[in-house]
């Protein structure tokens, strides 16, 4: 303890009494009201005063687009929202508005008759026209109470650690439910803060993986006919002979289809059909297929290599990778079915109408190219390549989450952690946890989430009765 004078002691006791009275004072509706407002870069605030004492407070953080508004609009918005908040006190009574922006005083002054060209300000002026008030200007250094509120909210908004801890205590809710909780408890966090926090949470990234959705790739990747071919089998089908399958070959550039009835789905059958096709049109540059055993065989790979033809296959559980051939399998069989129905023939006679079905498909308009396959195959304009982008976490080697396609139990993890070695807009070469390397579709990859700050060992208990948070 240190000695203090009687005058200082008396002043201290008076100050404590003033603070006590300012806290417990009640609103007296017989006294005139004064509304003081202020806005900062991240928040707006206001105080409701009577007889020089604050009787109510109002504040909130600005959301994403609101933070980009001009300072004049933020100050005007603070006035509008404060009046809305206390409208049950201010309606039908004369009150005073205090602002530290001269331009806002000029815009909302009821004695000002000039034209305002800003539509938003005009709507706000119309909203205030039903109130009776005077607006005065006060310099910012004298506008202390609302300025203190807005600045304190800004400083509180920067502390994201508490938001991480709260997110963990609530069992990691998503953005919508987490932000609803934040708003219901009037916590000083914006929806952008909640989105940033949930995106960087490693637990959410592992249990609720956000798989990357690549841009829809254009099926036409070739620049001229017979440059790239897609192949696939259809069957087994009912038949009058041994041909219970057919091999579909689609020219990527023109959508021109070729179909070869087959008795089996072996690599030798594929080679025989390709030799017949190559004798008519020459060698393509590229052949793409799914992961069927006939297309994965060494015999077919050696055959294509000897002809100078590059080959590729889809990744596992990704039939969209060979979507053109898959789609045309269905289109060809639908045309065959309609032709059989028109001739009152059973499905086993599909080979009798196959050529007619192919003729119609080749001669009719392809909506993807806006020209018939026949016209595009034999007379074509060149097409320039188009690029597409990939997310930053796929640009460089690093960890990622791979979808687990086979799960023995519902409680098994949805994803496995892998290392991305190299990626393009559609496929990625990854290293599994056991050291094996494989190629997967980027549709099955998700970001692992940024490493958040170390969690402090804090026990947060939620009191459901009182609605308070105890640490």
Average pLDDT over every residue of 349-359: 92
Q: With CA atoms as reference, report the closest residue to 415 among 233, 261, 210, 253.
A: 210
Domain ranges of the chain: 12-153, 159-207, 228-378, 392-450
- Residue 315's CB is within 10 A of a number of other CB atoms, namely 20
- CATH topology match: 12-153 vs 392-450: no
This prediction's pTM: 0.43
Query: What count of residues does the chain have?
Result: 471
Q: Enumerate long-range contacts of 266-275, CB under 8 Å, 24 or more apart.
A: 266/294, 267/293, 267/294, 267/295, 267/297, 267/299, 267/300, 268/299, 269/294, 270/231, 270/294, 270/295, 270/300, 271/299, 271/300, 271/303, 273/247, 273/249, 274/249, 274/303
CB 443 within 8 A of CB 217: no
- 311 DSSP β-pair partners: 287
Confidence bin at 348 (pLDDT 50/70/90): very high
Q: What is the DSSP string of 227-279?
A: SEEEEEEE-----SSS--EEEEEEETTT--EEEEEES---HHHHHHHHHHHHH
- In angstroms, the CA 119 to CA 366 distance is 49
Which range scores top for mean pLDDT: 9-13, 136-140, 343-347, 425-429?
343-347
Task: Map 308-334 to HEC letters.
Answer: CCEEEECCCCCHHHHHHHHHHHHHHHH
**pLDDT, tens digit, 9 for 90 and up, residues 363-415:** 888 888 888 898 888 874 333 333 456 778 888 899 999 999 988 888 899 99
**pLDDT, tens digit, 9 for 90 and up, residues 192-241:** 888 888 888 888 888 888 888 777 665 557 788 889 999 999 989 999 99
H helices then E strands: how many in the chain? 17, 17
**What is the C-alpha end-to-end distance of the chain, expressed in Å?**
33
- 56 DSSP β-pair partners: 48
Topology at the third CATH level for domain 12-153: Nucleotidyltransferase; domain 5 (3.30.420)
Residue 107 has pLDDT above 90, yes or no: no
Give the CA distances from residue 59 to residues 83, 187, 342, in Å, rounded to whole numbers and listed in that order. 12, 11, 74
- In a 3-state reduction of DSSP, which class is residue 138? coil
Give the CA distances from residue 374 to residues 288, 433, 435, in Å, rounded to whole numbers and listed in that order. 21, 49, 48
Q: Phi and psi dihedrals of 446, rounded to 5?
A: -140, 150
- In angstroms, the CA 107 to CA 110 distance is 8
Crossing angle of the two packed helices 298-306 and 267-281, in degrees rounded to 10: 20
- In angstroms, the CA 275 to CA 249 distance is 13
What local confidence, expressed as pLDDT, does residue 150 receive? 61
- 232 DSSP β-pair partners: 248
What local confidence, expressed as pLDDT, does residue 417 receive? 93
- In angstroms, the CA 37 to CA 82 distance is 7
Confidence bin at 318 (pLDDT 50/70/90): confident
Level-2 CATH architecture, domain 392-450 = Roll (2.30)
Level-2 CATH architecture, domain 228-378 = 2-Layer Sandwich (3.30)
Strands 427-431 and 415-423: antiparallel
HSE at residue 349, side-chain half, CA atoms within 13 A, is 12
């Amino acid at each position: 303890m240190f000695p203090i004078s009687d005058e200082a002691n008396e002043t201290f006791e008076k100050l404590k009494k003033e603070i006590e009275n300012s806290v417990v004072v009640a609103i007296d509706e017989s006294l005139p009201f004064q509304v003081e407002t202020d806005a900062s870069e991240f928040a707006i605030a206001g105080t409701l005063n009577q007889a020089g004492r604050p009787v109510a407070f109002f504040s909130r953080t600005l959301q994403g687009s609101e933070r980009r508004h001009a300072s004049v609009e933020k100050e005007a918005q603070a006035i509008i929202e404060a009046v809305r908040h206390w409208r049950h006190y201010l309606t039908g009574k004369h009150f005073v508005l205090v602002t530290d922006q001269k331009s806002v005083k000029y815009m909302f002054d009821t004695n000002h008759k000039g034209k305002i060209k800003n539509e938003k300000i005009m709507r706000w002026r119309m909203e205030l026209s039903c109130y009776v008030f005077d607006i005065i200007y006060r310099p910012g250094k004298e506008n202390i109470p609302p300025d203190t509120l807005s600045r304190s909210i800004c400083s509180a908004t920067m502390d994201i650690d508490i938001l991480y801890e709260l997110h963990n205590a609530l069992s990691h809710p998503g953005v919508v439910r987490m932000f609803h909780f934040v708003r219901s408890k009037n916590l000083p966090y914006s929806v952008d803060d909640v989105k940033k926090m949930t995106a960087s949470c490693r637990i959410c990234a592992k249990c609720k993986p956000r798989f990357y959705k690549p841009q829809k790739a254009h099926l036409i990747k070739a620049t001229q006919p017979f440059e790239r071919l897609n192949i696939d089998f259809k069957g087994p089908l009912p038949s009058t002979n041994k041909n219970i399958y057919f091999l579909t070959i689609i020219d990527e550039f023109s959508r021109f289809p070729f179909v070869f009835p087959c008795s089996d789905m072996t690599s030798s059958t594929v080679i025989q059909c390709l030799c017949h096709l190559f004798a008519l049109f020459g060698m393509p540059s590229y052949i793409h297929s799914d992961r069927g055993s006939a297309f994965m065989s060494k015999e077919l790979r050696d055959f294509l290599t000897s002809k100078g033809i590059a080959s590729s296959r889809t990744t596992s559980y990704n039939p969209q990778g060979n979507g053109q051939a898959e789609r045309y399998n269905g289109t060809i069989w639908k045309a065959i079915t309609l032709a059989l129905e028109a001739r009152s023939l059973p499905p086993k006679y599909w080979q009798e109408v196959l050529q007619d079905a192919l003729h119609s498909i080749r001669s009719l308009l392809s909506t993807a190219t806006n020209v018939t396959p026949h016209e595009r195959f034999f007379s074509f304009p060149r097409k320039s390549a188009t690029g597409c982008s990939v997310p930053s976490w796929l640009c460089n080697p690093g960890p990622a989450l791979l979808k687990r396609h086979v799960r023995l139990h519902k409680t098994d993890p949805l994803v496995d952690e892998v290392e991305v070695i190299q990626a393009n807009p559609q496929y990625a070469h990854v290293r599994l946890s056991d050291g094996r390397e494989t190629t997967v579709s980027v549709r099955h990859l998700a970001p692992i989430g940024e490493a958040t700050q170390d969690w402090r060992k804090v026990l947060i208990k939620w009191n459901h009765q009182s609605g308070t948070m105890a640490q």
